[in-house]
Amino acid sequence: MFPKHFNIILHGLLLLSVLLFSGCLNEKEGSLFDPDYVSARPAPEIASISPASGLAGVTSLTITGKNFSAVKTENTVYFNDKQAQIQEASSTQLKVLAPNVVNDSVKVRVGVKGSELFSNTWLYKLEAAVTDFGSISETQEPWAVASDGQGNLYVSMMDAGVGVGIKKFTAAGVRSDYAPSGGIAKWSGMKMGPGGILYTARILRAIYQIPAGGGSPTIWVAFGDLGTVYDLDFDAAGNVWAGGNNDFIYRVRPDRSVKAFPLTANVRSVRVFNNYVYVAGKVFPDSSERVVRFQIISSDSLGPRDDYFNLTASALGGPGRTIYAINFAADGDMYVGTDMPDPMLVVRPNRTVEQFHSGLTSPAIHLLAWGQGTNFYAVRGTAVGGTITKSIKIFRVNALKNGAPYLGAK
């Protein structure tokens, strides 16, 4: 039993709280919903997206519909939960760069400032532009790579610092033994030659052969007029063009006769395309990283030197950056592997240069080989002072165009 005065106090407090609570309710009555409210803008609508599918992080696509804003910053486009970069905008079309979302059914929605509602949802397919290839483990290192006419990839492999020979990978990534190491830790360059013979180099004054179908490496040509060979390629006549850290590049005929052509350079990549021999690396006397080409007049004659691309002088390159690899699409686009943060560039036939598949690979890309169709292979390594100290993985890259043919792989 509480004292009488305590009950009076308690009753007073309860009454006061009821009055205060009632006052709060009476201060603003009713729901926040306003049935007369009209949105500043109608909801956007998606009618179509072209192309019908694309590459994640690469494809610029056009969303057609209505009730968009012509002011780019007033639109937002989501692919699942990733916001896309809007490149152009009108009231009926939005051009956007697809974000790096890989899925057969990406949910695309558009929002517009001033509209309460998002658009309808459009399902869109985005495929991967870059994928890991070959299931390379942490202890394994892929070095020189070459492809054949059937889409197989040949890879010089090391495991735990020891050469384990050349492995053959099908386009599906199935691995098999192709050639033993023969006491050679790794190859620096490889190309498939006529008759299925694989030609290899290892930064010595020699070019090796591995017989068709696989087997032990043997020396094909060495010393004499031949300098150190880092990489090599074939022309349409079956001649080998080779380069390394020398005062010359070299032509080797099928009969193994050698002719030297002056060029003082540390050549890391050689490619023959459209009757030109292209060499990439550090070119002297200015030590710039560049691609130089010579027209092949005959097996005994080259046209004048043409400085095709200078990475050191490029706005996308600069001093201290290194070119490691080049390769070509059928339309003349030249892909360049470097040690830059965005390591792949594409040089168009008009010699303009752009970043390629920006943000989808990591440095350094030091070897390139085209597979079948629109896919090529890029080998990633670690670069220190312009030298690859470790090779890490193989990327398969969709270029959305076919590669130029390897003239030796007939």
186: nearest Cα among 165, 205, 206, 169? 165
Res 10 pLDDT > 50: no
pLDDT digits (tens, 9 = 90+) for 58-80: 999 999 999 999 999 999 999 99
Same domain, 115 and 181: no
Judge if 100 and 142 occupy the same domain.
no
Q: Are residues 234 and 383 in the same domain?
A: yes
pLDDT digits (tens, 9 = 90+) for 154-192: 999 999 999 999 999 999 999 999 999 999 999 999 999
Give the largest Cα separation in the chain, rounded.
123
Task: State the residue range of the domain holding 391.
Answer: 130-398
Per-residue tokens: 382 = 């670690």
Which of 99, 127, 155 is where one domain is finished?
127
SS3 50: strand
Task: Reply yes or no on whether the pLDDT at 3 is more than 70.
Answer: no
Same structural domain for residues 86 and 207?
A: no
Q: 143 and 60, same structural domain?
A: no
Q: Are residues 189 and 65 in the same domain?
A: no
Cα(175)–Cα(220) distance, integer angstroms: 27
Asked, for residue 336, whether it belongs to a domain, the answer is: yes
In this prediction, residue 332 carries a pLDDT of 98
Do residue 112 and residue 226 come from a single domain? no
In a domain, 16, yes or no: no
- The answer to whether residue 410 sits within a structural domain is no
Contact of 105 with 130, CB cutoff 8 Å: no
Q: Between the CA atoms of 226, 227, 229 and 232, what dihedral angle is there, to the nearest 10 degrees?
A: -50
For the chain, the domain total comes to: 2
Domain boundary (112, 127, 142) is at: 127
Judgement on whether residues 140 and 85 belong to the same structural domain of the protein: no
Q: How far is CA 378 from CA 8, 195, 245, in A?
A: 87, 25, 23
Residue 36 lies in a domain: no
Of 87, 111, 127, the domain-final residue: 127
User: For position 92, which CATH number holds?
Assistant: 2.60.40.10
- Does residue 64 share a domain with residue 101? yes
CATH number of the domain enclosing 246? 2.120.10.30
**14 within some domain:** no
pLDDT tens-digit map of 231-264: 999 999 999 999 999 999 999 999 999 999 999 9
Tell me whether residue 9 is in a domain: no
